[in-house]
Amino acid sequence: MNVWLAAIRPKTLVAGAAPVVLGSALAFHHHELHLPSALIALACAVLIQIASNFINELEDFKRGADEHRVGPLRAVTAGLITPASMKRASWMVVGAAFLLGQPLVFRAGWPVLVIGVACLVAAWLYTGGPFPLAYKGLGDVFAFVFFGVIAVVGTYYVHTGTWSADAFVVSIAPGCLAANILGVNNLRDIPTDARVGKRTIAVRIGATGARLLYTVLTAVAILAPSLILGSVMGAWMYLPLAAMPVGIIMTVLVWRRSGAELNTVLGGTAALYVLYTLLASMALVMSRVHAP
């Protein structure tokens, strides 16, 4: 059981859950929150993240990408879970996410079905298929689009049945922070990824470039939504800026550490993501409660 728990990669689940929380908080701000939909969307997002992790582990095993990794142990490569078992588990989780999401389709219509199917397909295309995104340097773009824009905007649509520019602005932070979680992982794995032909962004632009990208994305994530929405929604929207000290600490550590030392930075980046999500969600809720 502990082996499967490790394969789920609990620390990464924030990347799936946080955008749903933020999209639901924005719906609350606009007086459109539908709590059952929020809970279902949250469960679906976590399941899609788990499926992505399972498929990632299986496909990386097939390509030999985990043979000399310095990150946490991968169960399939270590022989603790067979490839066949991981494949079955992946299909089970994908099926569960699809079935659980049907009430959302019933509520909000075919766009939600398209979004859900696209997310499930993307979970496979990230490291699988004839053009694996992670191996072509598109993983960071994938993270921003699917764990930022699509997740937040899609969640908001489930609640309201409408598209929103505010939802796009809110999606900037989770997109950037999800890309940073992946970025730290790829920075750590530059030597092993390069060896097996996994041309991540970090491999392509080098360690210095990857660290600079992390710095920029951290600043954009924390600053941009507050600066854009603060003048419209009120002073509460500046609350997420309180996450900046943690962002600075993580950025300093990214520049000072390498190899296995980055494992703690990976956890710290996930913790920053959680902190930002809590602050931004509180800001959206309180800006409604204290609206004039």
Give the model confidence (pLDDT) of 127-159 as tens digits: 777 788 888 888 899 899 999 999 999 999 999
CA distance 67 to 78: 9
pLDDT value at residue 139 = 87
Longest CA span, the chain? 60
Predicted confidence (pLDDT) per residue in 167-224, tens digit: 999 999 999 999 999 999 999 999 988 888 889 999 999 999 999 999 999 999 999 9
Q: Which residues are CB-neighbours of 279 under 8 A, at least 6 positions away? A: 239, 240, 242, 243
pLDDT value at residue 5 = 84
- pLDDT higher than 80, residue 45: yes
Predicted confidence (pLDDT) per residue in 66-122, tens digit: 555 555 667 787 777 888 888 899 999 999 999 999 999 999 999 999 999 998 888
CA distance 248 to 178: 17
CA distance 222 to 75: 35
Closest CA to 267 of 3, 43, 11, 21: 11
pLDDT value at residue 56 = 83
Predicted confidence (pLDDT) per residue in 9-42, tens digit: 887 888 889 999 999 999 999 999 999 999 999 9
Kindly report the pTM of this predicted structure: 0.90
CA distance 84 to 95: 17
Q: Which two tokens stand for residue 42?
A: 């949250």
pLDDT value at residue 205 = 95
pLDDT (average), residues 236-247: 97
| Cβ–Cβ < 8 Å for 10, 140 | no
CA distance 241 to 147: 21
pLDDT value at residue 92 = 94
The three-state (H, E, C) secondary structure of the chain, written as one string: CHHHHHHHCHHHHHHHHHHHHHHHHHHHHCCCCCHHHHHHHHHHHHHHHHHHHHHHHHHHHHHCCCCCCCCCCCCCCCCCCCHHHHHHHHHHHHHHHHHHCHHHHHHHCHHHHHHHHHHHHHHHHCCCCCCCHHHHCCHHHHHHHHHHHHHHHHHHHHHHCCCCHHHHHHHHHHHHHHHHHHHHHHHHCHHHHHHCCCCCHHHHHHHHHHHHHHHHHHHHHHHHHHHHHHHHHCHHHHHHHHHHHHHHHHHHHHHHCCHHHHHHHHHHHHHHHHHHHHHHHHHHHHHHHCCC
Rounded to a whole number of angstroms, the distance between the first and last alpha carbons of the chain is 52
CA distance 197 to 199: 6
